[in-house]
Each structure stands twice: as C-alpha cells, then as structure tokens.
Amino acid sequence: MDRMLVVVFDSEAKALEGKKALLLLDDEGSVTVYAYAVVAKGADGKASIKDGDDSGPLGTLATTALGTLIGALFGPVGMAVGATAGFAGGATADLTNAGIGEDFIDDVSKDLHPSSVALVAEVEEDWTTPVDVRMEAIGGTVFRRALSDVGEQVHHENVAAMKADLAQFKAELAQAHADRKAKLQQKINALDTKIQAHLQAAKEKREAAEAKVQAKAKILKAKASAAVAAKR
C-alpha cells in the first residue's frame, strides 16, 4: 500500500540515521521508498531540507505529494542541499485529494517542536512493523497515512452539481421573458466555462497520476532486475 510517512526525531543525527535505516529496509525489500527528505525545524521556526532525493524519479520535491506535505507541515522551506525550492502553504487541498486530511497534518504538527527534525517519505509497505521497529529504536515517532485518489470522485460530484445547475438555467431560459434571457445566458456561459475548466484540470491530474504510476513501475522493475542480477 502506498503511504506517506513522517518520522519525527529530536536531532538531525537521529533523523539521518533514520533515513539510512529506511533505505536499508528498501534494500532488504521490506519497503519501497519512492521519495524522501530530511527536514529540520530550527529554534526560530524556520525550516530547511538537510537531505533528500530532489532529483528522484518522481520529479522534484516541490512537484510531488511529498513536497506538498512538507509545505503543509513546515511552510516555505529552503533547500540546504542544491538549489532553493519553495513549498506553498496552501497545499492542503492537494493533500486532501490524495487522501491526506487536515487531521493528519494536525497530528504530526503537534510533535514538530522547535529543533525537531523529520524524515518525510513516500513509500510502499505491506507491513508496518519493519519501519516502526527500526524508527522507534532510533527514537523516532512514526506517523503514516495511506494515499488514495479521492480527487476523481470529488471532481465528478462537483461537475455533476454544476451540470444540474446548467440544466436548470437552460430550462428557465426557454421560458424566460426577454428582459431575463440575457442574464440567464450570462450565467449559462459562465457556468459552462467553469465546467470546461474543471474537465481540463481533471484531465491534467489524470495525466500526472498516470505519469507517476509509470515512474513507480520503473522503480519497481529496476529493483526487481537488480535483485535478479544479485542472485547470479
């Protein structure tokens, strides 16, 4: 199951040790790591990324669900390694579409004190015990949330509601007096434009999701090939 993972530590050294443990679990086949970052929150409230795979196969951190989660938890973050990258604070809508609600953000935020350092990762895991045991041994507090694509359902519901309104406006237009027709036509045009915008946005999201699935498939294929090669 695809999950977003946040492990909170009280020091950068422990968080980096946690990152190594997570990647080791990936090597062992206990978990598949798609993207990760180690994010430190300073005493002044400012945050920076201490380590991460910003050029990973899923794209730069700022364009992934991982980057969105980091933005929601930490606000704008400066990259301590590589170029700087900003994460928008209004990213919670995208997280909600992925099945990560505000309750998850609230739960993690309660543990993010000044000087906290978090390992944030997008992973696939069938069993939670391996990660929990390794991270708890280092002193990390583990939070996880399964990723689900609920955005498509929300989109269909929104478009259906707008189409219902559009049908109502058109029905009224057919029976309206001349002085009312112009205003109704304006509403029809505006609503139709909004529907088309929603359809286009949904298409772009589907294409992005398909690209992400293909990228993950390539990662899994590469790991399988490496495992076969190692046995020879």
Per-residue pLDDT at 22 exceeds 90? yes
Cα angle at 145 between 161 and 159, to 5 degrees?
10
43 shares its domain with 156: no
pLDDT at 49: 80
- Cβ pair 70, 37 in contact under 8 A: yes
Of 146, 173, 204, the residue that ends a domain is 146
Closest by alpha carbon to 79, among 108, 105, 53? Answer: 53
| Enclosing domain of residue 223 | 151-231
The enclosing H or E element of 209 equals: helix 178-231
Of 93, 127, 146, the residue that ends a domain is 146
pLDDT at 85: 38
pLDDT at 81: 34
| Measured distance CA(105)–CA(36) in Å, rounded | 17
pLDDT at 132: 93
- Cβ pair 145, 98 in contact under 8 A: no
Tokens encoding 103: 């309750």
**pLDDT digits 0-9 by tens, 169-196:** 888 888 888 887 888 888 899 888 988 8
Residue 120 half-sphere exposure toward CB, CA atoms < 13 A: 30
168 shares its domain with 124: no
Per-residue pLDDT at 163 exceeds 80? yes
Residues of the chain above pLDDT 70, percent? 78
Residues of the chain above pLDDT 90, percent? 19
Of 146, 170, 198, the residue that ends a domain is 146
Residue 108 half-sphere exposure toward CB, CA atoms < 13 A: 25
Residue whose token pair is 């009224």:
172
